[in-house]
Amino acid sequence: MKKILILANLFISIVAFAQTDCEYSSNVKDSLGSYKSTINYVMHEKVFGNSQSSIFFSLINADGLPSLNMQIIQKSSEFIPAKCLDKSSKIYVQLQNGKIISLIGLDQETCGNFVRNNGENCRILSAYFLFLKDTMEELKKSPIAIFRIKYAGETVDYIAKETLVSEVDKKTYHPDHFFMDYLKCIE
């Protein structure tokens, strides 16, 4: 009986600490340079009535420059107010160990794109954020507790869940471990 318990604990430990595989939406290396981008990962999702809002992160390495791509997709039969980003926009990540990491937005002003599809309003906002020196190492050490997005005119906090089962694609995500699991993919 002891041997079975030891084997069961060993199996659970292996599964719990298994390395996450890297999945890329792009991975190109040619005479012009290199570009790697991980697939979009659901960091936050809110589905309420006829409205849906999702925040996706993906990691990019373009010719040795690592960055974070954030994409917000909102859908509703009602009007969707715009969230805009400007040159002062940032993402702040508070880790569970208490440290706060800042990601700086590229000097871009955008309110995203508005699309009407089959009677449904859709708003898509995409932006790129750069890592500050030595912050990637800190992001690899501790799970995320909260991430804060500083939009033009407002700041919104999002709790990074340990487990998020998407109502949209029915997949399971672990937003709190995003950087710990995927930063290795763009090194």
Tens digit of each residue's pLDDT (9 = 90 or more) over 5-29? 333 343 333 334 445 699 999 999 9
Closest CA relative to residue 149, chosen from 108, 109, 89: 89
Within a domain: 16: no
Within a domain: 138: yes
Within a domain: 64: yes
Tens digit of each residue's pLDDT (9 = 90 or more) over 66-116? 999 999 999 999 999 999 999 999 999 999 999 999 999 987 899 999 999
Within a domain: 163: yes
Check pLDDT > 50 for residue 34. Answer: yes
Read off the tokens for 94: 């508070």
Residues spanned by the domain of 33: 22-186
Bridge partners of 144? 95
Within a domain: 49: yes
pLDDT for position 17: 41
User: What total of structural domains would you count in the chain?
Assistant: 1
pLDDT for position 119: 85
Within a domain: 10: no
Within a domain: 120: yes
pLDDT for position 10: 36
Within a domain: 3: no
169: number of CA atoms within 13 Å, CB side?
A: 12
Quote the pTM value: 0.86
DSSP 52-81: EEEEEEEEEEETTEEEEEEEEEEEESS---
Rounded Cα gap, residues 150 and 70, in angstroms: 12
